[in-house]
Each structure stands twice: as C-alpha cells, then as structure tokens.
Structure 1
Amino acid sequence: MTAPPALPPLHLVVMGVSGSGKTTVARALAAELDLTFAEADDFHPPANIVKMTAGIPLTDEDRWPWLRALRDWMAEQGTRGESTVVTCSALKRSYRDLLRGAGGRVQFLDLEGSRELLAARMRGRSGHFMPAALLDSQLGALEPPTPDEQAWTYDVACPSAEIVAEVAARVRRELGSGK
C-alpha cells in the first residue's frame, strides 16, 4: 500500500480592511493549526509606514513592493514544506492574484464588517500606525473577492473565536492539517 501524496503547502491569507480583526484571527488560527504566522505590516517598507502614520493613503505603486515581499516570504516557507497563516488587507483582486503566485494553495479568508463596527474597532485600539481616518480610503479601494476566487467570507460581528473554530474545522476537513 502506498502513502497518499503529500498535500502542497497551504497559505491562509486573512484579509480585510483595517479594523477587521485580521491579526487577532490569524494569530489564533496559526496557534490552533500549528502553522507559521506572519503579519503583513512587518513587510512594509519604512516609507509606507511613514505615509500611513501621517494619514496618507497608499497607492498601488506603494503596495506592490510590499505585496511582492509577502508573496516571496510565503513562497520561501512553501519550498520548505511549511504552511502559513498571514495577514494582508489584499484589497484588490490584482493584489490577491500576485499573492496566489506564492505556490501551494493560497486560501483567502475575507473578514467583512460594517463601516461603523470597523471604525469603532480602529478608534479603540492603541499602538497601531494606521489611523481610523484611512478606513474610508481602504473601503473605497476594496474589491471584495468574487465567487470565482473561492474566498471564505466571515462576518466580523461574530466573535473571533467562532471564526477561528469554523476555519480550523474547515481546513482540517477539506485540506488536512495543512502542515
């Protein structure tokens, strides 16, 4: 009897605008599934952080180097057979298409919520460079995933623990442990 073929690395990209709970969900999901975690904000060049801290929205030109760095990190992990959980706003389909180039299976988890809830969350957090004033620019740039992208969508009004439990069960059921 032969062993089943190994599953390709899985990269779970927890996406959404600022305030959607990407980091909370992604950290808990990585811990639950014992996967390598990365915060996309850590891949921004310093100039992007300066702009966002000043309340200046990023342009596509600002975002491409950041997205390529994140994709390359995911690909590097994948070549070692490591599956990952990463945060990334992934606002546009073109950004998600670039991230899909990491290889393996790239699955997007789209965290959605009302503008009011997102703004309240942003106002309530401290120590983050992204001001609440940039929420509208992110919502304006957002291209929600289309059905052909097969993203998994979750309402952030639900407790993050419920979202994590549902995603973890789905990953285990559909894909194996991912690692």
Structure 2
Amino acid sequence: MDTANGLDPRVLVLMGVSGCGKTTVAALLAGRFGWDFEEGDSLHPQSNVEKMHAGNPLTDEDRWPWLARVADWIEAELDAGKHGVITCSALKRSHREVLNRRGTGIVFVYLAGTPEQIGARLAARQGHFMPTSLLASQFAALEEPGEDEPAIRIDIGEAPRQIVQAIVDDLGLGSPASLDKP
C-alpha cells in the first residue's frame, strides 16, 4: 500500500470546464509526487469525441458511460492502495456523486476561471476535440462544488507551477500532513 508521507491513498480529480488547465496541472502534480496520472478525456467513448468535435455539447445521457469509466479508474487506484490524479470536467454535483460513489478517498480540485480567461486559452489551443464554441454550454452546466463536497477551489490566474503549489499548500501535501482535508 502506498502510504508515502503517512497519507492514506487518495485520488485527486482535477475538474472544471474545458480549457481551465486540468491536464497541464494534473500532469505536473502527478509528476511532482510520482503518482499515477490519467487523462480523463481518453476514457470518453468515441461517440462522445465525435459529437464534441462536431460542435455538439454532450448531454448527461452521453456522459454517464464516460463518468462510469472515470469512477472505475478512481476505484482501481484506491483498491490498489495508490495515490492518483485524474482529469474530469465533473461539471455537476450528480457527476461528482458518480465519481465519489464509495464516499471516501477522493478530493475534487476545482480549477476556477472566468469565461474570458478560459475562452482566451481555448482560442490558443490546437489539436483538441473540444471546440471553443462549446465553452458557453460548459459554463451553463457548471455547478461549483458545495461546501459539503470533498473539494477545494483554486483560481487559475497564476502559471501552472504556481497553481500546483497552491494545491499542495491547500491540501498540506508539502509536509507529512494528510489529505483528509478539506
């Protein structure tokens, strides 16, 4: 069982709308600690990728099979006694409830930014199946995590390494503190 620094195995789910920096920050965070990393978008069924690429927003009906795959990855990590980091938009509370179906071992890291900040990032991004035109639908669907959810909110106004440090500081990962927070 991986309990480095006395931490019970946890999976951090970096969440937020497309373009908020989930993949960049998650890869840096996982690399910093040597934790497993999964790009949640790689778990989308091909039909979802095609739908988004065509400029059509996903419905919850489209998302359920994908969210089940993400939840399966999370549970496999926890069952193996490992720490991990995965990206997933997790826009709605109901989505996060699917991901946190066991009720323990997960912390949502909400990367929060304004539509203007994220729109500028999306406009500069190349090679991603999610077009800028779908950003408004993502913000419309977004339900920020409530105080009763295992989540922290991190502003995306800084550079990725500073965002990683803010996560580390907020969760007490720079010391032998536990991830039992928040």
Q: Structure 1 length normalisation: TM-score? A: 0.90
Structure 1 residue 150, shift from structure 2 partner:
3.9
Tell me the residue number matched to 1:161: 161
Which residue type is aligned with residue 55 of structure 1? G
1:24 and 1:160 mapped to 2: Cα distance?
7
2:102 and 2:64 mapped to 1: Cα distance?
14
Count of aligned pairs: 171
Tell me the residue number matched to 2:3: none
Partner SS, residue 31 of structure 2: helix
Partner SS, residue 149 of structure 1: coil
Tell me the residue number matched to 1:14: 14
Which residue type is aligned with residue 159 of structure 2? P
2:21 and 2:52 mapped to 1: Cα distance?
18
2:8 and 2:82 mapped to 1: Cα distance?
9
1:54 and 1:126 mapped to 2: Cα distance?
15
Quick one: percent identity of the two aligned structures?
46
Question: Is contact 2:154–2:166 with CA below 8 Å preserved after alignment?
Answer: no
1:18 and 1:12 mapped to 2: Cα distance?
17
2:157 and 2:129 mapped to 1: Cα distance?
23
What's the CA shift string for 1:32-53, capped at 9, x where partnerless?
1110000010000000000000
Consecutive unaligned residues of structure 2, counting only runs of 5 or more, are: 1-5
Partner SS, residue 148 of structure 1: coil
Describe the shift of the 1:91–1:109 C-alpha distance in structure 2 as closer, same or farther (beyond 3 A): same
Consecutive unaligned residues of structure 1, counting only runs of 5 or more, are: 1-5
Q: Structure 2 length normalisation: TM-score? A: 0.89
Which residue type is aligned with residue 178 of structure 2? L
* TM-align CA RMSD: 1.5
